[in-house]
Amino acid sequence: MQTGEEIRSADRGGRSSAAGTRLRALIVKELAATLKERTSRMILVAPIILYVILFGYIATFNLNHVPYALLDLSRTQASAEFVRRIDQSPAFERVETLSSAADISRAVEEGRSLVVVAVDADFGRDLADGRPGRVQVIIDGRNSTTAQLAAGYLSVMAQDAAARSGAAPPLVVIRFLYNPNNITQWFIMPGLIVMLSMLQVIVLSSLSVAREREQGTFEQLLVAPFTVNELVVSKMIVPAAIGIFQSTLIFAIDVWWFEIPLAGSVLKIYAVLVIFIISIVGLGLAISAFSRTMQQALLTAFVLLVPMVLLGGLFTPVENMPRWLQLLTYADPLRFALLAVRRAYLADAGWGEILLTMWPAMAAAAASLPLARHYFARRI
């Protein structure tokens, strides 16, 4: 016969074994629930691969093909040799050759050139007399991080050229347009006006239809006397209004807390905001109408948010990305909203320049809203 201690020990062993069996069953159930849907399985793998590729190509401050404009007022053999070294460097790509100093502001304002290299008229004579030749590097202060790195590259190249020829090293003078003291906050904070509001807007709009479906109120909307267009517009208004409110709050902090001077028009900034938020709301509603559950909608929104922020150029400039990624950024409204809001805030860009910058975001809005309506109508 078994003793009492042996019976108690066997009972504890049986309970532990049963608990382990139940726990294994629960884990298998949760794993099956997570992997049951094809979309959920894709979300577990595809975003990781996408993020690694994007970070590998985008998250770098190495200079490649930085667009610059040249103003050679010297037009001597010495200046031609200096310019040749710049053109032969893989870090720079000449996009324009200027004829006078009056063209410098235009070259930077149009956004085609991050840097303007202006060789002084006395450059050749100064080098011949043993004095340092003067080279002025004008930097777009709205994109100061990469432009400043480019200026550093140019200084090193100038010193290297002088060392090879035995001449005095050129004097490289750096000047920042729109951000005279090169304050990083002036570059980052205006971009947050659109970027931070985007996060909330896309999450709210992507949950709107999926939430109604899970809560069981979607069927009530179907029997109510509302048209598809009315339902879509009603779903747009609240996320858009919240986005405008958040952008206004960030805008006020930029102006009054961080004291970043507003050079442009408030009306232009809000025009950019309205176009951008409409495009983001359309994308969020398309996600919501397509998704079957709130979890699926939320995961899809977050999967898209990381590439949008990376491709938008908030921290790493688009011009420094590979060509194929630069083409991909045309599908990202954030890229053009960042450009437009910085140009409106820091440089008082004209209406023509604002609209020309924002046309891809307008195209995104024109595509996403009909797509959202299409998926919405299909669910009905």
Stretch 60-68: mean pLDDT: 70
The reply to whether 315 and 349 lie within a common domain is: yes
Whichever domain contains 151, its CATH number is 3.40.1710.10
Find the farthest-apart pair of alpha carbons in the chain and give their distance in angstroms, rounded. 113
Q: Please answer whether residues 127 and 82 qualify as being in contact, where contact means their C-beta atoms are separated by less than 8 angstroms.
A: no
Stretch 28-40: mean pLDDT: 68
Domain boundary among 125, 150, 177: 177
Strands 92-97 and 115-119: unpaired
Give domain status of residue 4, yes or no: no
Residue 60 predicted with pLDDT over 70: no
Residue 178 predicted with pLDDT over 60: yes
Distance from C-alpha of 355 to C-alpha of 262, rounded to nearest angstrom: 19
pLDDT in tens, 196-224: 888 888 888 888 777 777 666 666 666 66
Tell me which residue of 366, 309, 364, 358 sits closest to 111, measured CA to CA.
Answer: 358
Give domain status of residue 293, yes or no: yes
Distance from C-alpha of 283 to C-alpha of 138, rounded to nearest angstrom: 38
Tell me which residue of 97, 81, 86 sits closest to 63, measured CA to CA.
Answer: 86
The reply to whether 221 and 319 lie within a common domain is: yes
Q: Which amino acid is at 316?
A: T
Domain boundary among 161, 177, 193: 177
124 lies in which domain range? 66-177
Give domain status of residue 156, yes or no: yes
Residue 87 predicted with pLDDT over 70: yes
The CA–CA distances, whole Å, from 96 to 67, 125, 151, 163 equal 9, 25, 17, 28
- Phi first, then psi, for residue 58 (nearest 5°) are -100, -45
Residue 155 predicted with pLDDT over 80: no
The reply to whether 212 and 328 lie within a common domain is: yes
Stretch 234-246: mean pLDDT: 86
Residue 316 predicted with pLDDT over 60: yes
Give domain status of residue 353, yes or no: yes
Torsion of CA 99, 104, 109, 115, to 10 degrees: 100
The reply to whether 346 and 264 lie within a common domain is: yes
Give domain status of residue 251, yes or no: yes
What is the DSSP code string of 173-188?
A: EEEEES-TT--HHHHH
Give domain status of residue 57, yes or no: no
Least confident of 5-9, 97-101, 234-238, 344-348: 5-9
- Phi first, then psi, for residue 5 (nearest 5°) are -65, -40
Joined together, the tokens standing for residue 375 give 């998926």
pTM, to two decimals: 0.75
Joined together, the tokens standing for residue 227 give 């048209």
Domain boundary among 155, 177, 199: 177
Q: Please answer whether residues 134 and 173 qualify as being in contact, where contact means their C-beta atoms are separated by less than 8 angstroms.
A: yes
Q: 277: pLDDT confidence band, cut at 50, 70 and 90? A: very high
Stretch 303-327: mean pLDDT: 80
Helix or strand run (H / E) with residue 71: strand 66-72
Q: What is the pLDDT of residue 252?
A: 92
The reply to whether 119 and 235 lie within a common domain is: no
The total of structural domains in the chain comes to: 2
Higher pLDDT, 328 or 23: 328
Stretch 274-303: mean pLDDT: 84
Give domain status of residue 301, yes or no: yes
Across the chain, mean pLDDT equals 78
